[in-house]
Structure 1
Amino acid sequence: MKTDIKNLDLNLLKALDALLDERSVTRAAERLSLTQPAVSGMLTRLRECFNDPLFSRAQRGMVPTLRALELAAPVKQILSEAEALLQPRAFDPAQAQMTVTLAATDYALKAVIAPLIARLRPLAPGIRVAVVPVEEARLPGQLERGDVALALVTPETVAPDLHARDLYDEEYVCMMRADHPDAARSLTLDRFCALEHVLVSHSGQAFQGATDVALAALGRRRQVVAAVNSFLMLPEMLRISDLVAVTPRRLAAGTAGMAIMPPPLPIPGFTKTLAWHERSHRDPGQRWLRAQIYALFDYQATQILPKCSPLS
């Protein structure tokens, strides 16, 4: 007679394992914190499932049948594997072999991804990082499918069903080449508006940004003569011209040959946020990786960024 797997559950296997170890219904019941009649009933069901008596009475306890002895090792393995399923998977970053895909803008490549990779190399040399562009329309689906594990975005673009954590607040600075005619003097609003500017537009065609909105509130305008689709192009354009750019401070910081100074008017900054899907929320490897990103900016939050100066 063929046994139907639907009639067998883990509780019956646990009872069989205890009976095989203890060779006594009484001791097995104590081990399982059950009553003796309950374990006797489970033994009856086990005999029906395996079509075998499994145990026979002896002067001292019970003697397993050959069939019961055959089941001993497989039952312990099944119970061990089932127990492992219920335990969080241990994660050892030093031994981990995985590829993590992040969605990021070119700005985030320098501000977040580059320092993250530098942090990961000594801690988790087997973790590879792949970066894809942020495409707002596709991002929710990419996160849901697991095509993207983490996204570096702004709070207003995070879908309601995603997990998110703000990493830092960014501010804007004015950047020009170090030997620019205006690099050594204070930048007034009049001079700022008179200079020729380059700005970043993801389409490469828009000639207005946050700076222009702030200027319009004061009834002023600036001269934007170029729009590029990459923050990383700005330093090269500024080095070979008298153009100036308003750019995020973290992008400007450490850029060789550049003068960095505060803009002559308040320009609202933005917040950089890390977002991820519920599917990876509890994964030990993903949790560890997110913690490494948090640590980058928790540390930076305790440091004082250098003040802007004409020759910084």
Structure 2
Amino acid sequence: MNTSRMDFNLLVTLEALLAERNVSRAAQRLHISQPALSSRLNRLRALFGDELFIPGHRGMMPTAMALELEEPLRAALDQLRGVVAAARAFDPSRDRLVVNIAASDYMQAAVLLDFMLALRQEAPGVRIALRHIDPARLGEQMEQGAVDLAFLTPDLVAETLRFRPLLAERYALVVRKGHPAARRGISSQAFSELDHVIVSPRGGGFSTAADDVLESMHLKRNVAMSASSFLFVLDAVRRSDLAALVPARLLRNRTGGLRVLEPPIPVPGFAVSMVWHDRAHRDLAQRWLRQRLIDHVAAGEGQAGAPA
């Protein structure tokens, strides 16, 4: 095959189609129109002398040849990206970069929002796309290049991924300003008698580690409401007599209408790790971004919402 006139964008297109199995999603991933991607697919078919993809029930089904190409193509493109990245330093003031980050609503609101706003000044060409994290699919998404960086508790990090501890979080107790409980000290007994709203990330749960602590103290609280988002919880507390245990970092710049108290029971906190794939490990731009995020979190230590 004569490669002197080959458009290597076609190989990147094939990589995206193999990852997404869908023309619309692949076009979105490559930031091109669907007709432009369809045109590239026709050129790929001519190049390889194979249909490569045929219509299926849920998108495009790869042919046997396309499946045979998937692994060597990914390895070759990763190697090529590494050569290009190593050839020149990353200049945040000039270079352009798209980074796909998977994170919980807590991490997006408590850490990434401020980081992304600060980054606009230092690296105007860096665009960050946030998505909700799916721990079960994260390894596959990172291998395919759909996710570059993610944030998980250490126990959920797959052995195939690289990670670095990023932060340790504690919980604070919040009630609305003017709540009867805010006018006096909160004992463990009084805490258990409040009506609570909690976060259940998977939905449907009405207990957390705090309930295990209460049970060990022969106490039980009433969980009146369960939600999937901490931002929902803060709004619910502001508008009712509900109480909630929330991560302290989330309260930074969000204490309007709230009274922040020290929990009267020893509520276990949690750790968060930054996670990435081998394919992004040596990329200079990705390494720069990871270090900037580490620096951003370190600079904010001790500024989380403190008890009033």
Paired with 1:205 and 1:87, the residues of 2 have a C-alpha distance of: 48
| Residues 260, 306 of structure 2: 8 Å contact kept | no
Corresponding residue number in structure 2 for 1:234: 233
Per the normalisation by structure 1, the TM-score is: 0.69
Paired with 2:285 and 2:179, the residues of 1 have a C-alpha distance of: 48
Map 1:217-232; keep pairs closer than 5 Å.
Answer: 217-232=216-231
Give the letter aligned to residue 176 of structure 2: R
Q: Deviation of residue 95 (structure 1)?
A: 1.1
Paired with 1:251 and 1:171, the residues of 2 have a C-alpha distance of: 10
Structure 1 residues 136, 306: CA separation in 2 closer, same or farther (over 3 Å shift)? closer
Which deviations, in whole Å up to 9, do the C-alpha atoms of 1:219-257 show, x marking residues without a partner? 211010100111111121111110000111111233211
Paired with 1:134 and 1:267, the residues of 2 have a C-alpha distance of: 25
Map 1:281-300; keep pairs closer than 5 Å.
Answer: 281-300=281-300
Corresponding residue number in structure 1 for 2:214: 215
Map 1:117-136; keep pairs closer than 5 Å.
Answer: 117-136=116-135
Paired with 1:130 and 1:179, the residues of 2 have a C-alpha distance of: 39
Paired with 1:190 and 1:90, the residues of 2 have a C-alpha distance of: 59
Which deviations, in whole Å up to 9, do the C-alpha atoms of 1:243-277 show, x marking residues without a partner? 00011111123321111111111011000110000
Corresponding residue number in structure 2 for 1:279: 279
| Residues 251, 305 of structure 2: 8 Å contact kept | no
Does residue 263 of structure 1 match 2:257? no
Corresponding residue number in structure 2 for 1:26: none
Aligned residues: 225
Q: Deviation of residue 188 (structure 1)?
A: 0.8
Unpaired segments ≥5 residues, structure 2:
1-82
Structure 1 residues 87, 240: CA separation in 2 closer, same or farther (over 3 Å shift)? closer
SS in 2 for 1:183: helix
Q: Deviation of residue 159 (structure 1)?
A: 1.0
Which deviations, in whole Å up to 9, do the C-alpha atoms of 1:252-305 show, x marking residues without a partner? 23321111111111011000110000100000110010011000122233x465
Give the letter aligned to residue 295 of structure 2: A
Paired with 1:307 and 1:85, the residues of 2 have a C-alpha distance of: 46
Unpaired segments ≥5 residues, structure 1:
1-83
Per the normalisation by structure 2, the TM-score is: 0.70
Give the letter aligned to residue 117 of structure 2: A
Sequence identity (%): 37
| Residues 175, 252 of structure 1: 8 Å contact kept | no
Runs of 4+ more than 2 Å apart: 84-89, 303-307
Paired with 2:156 and 2:238, the residues of 1 have a C-alpha distance of: 33
Structure 1 residues 87, 285: CA separation in 2 closer, same or farther (over 3 Å shift)? closer
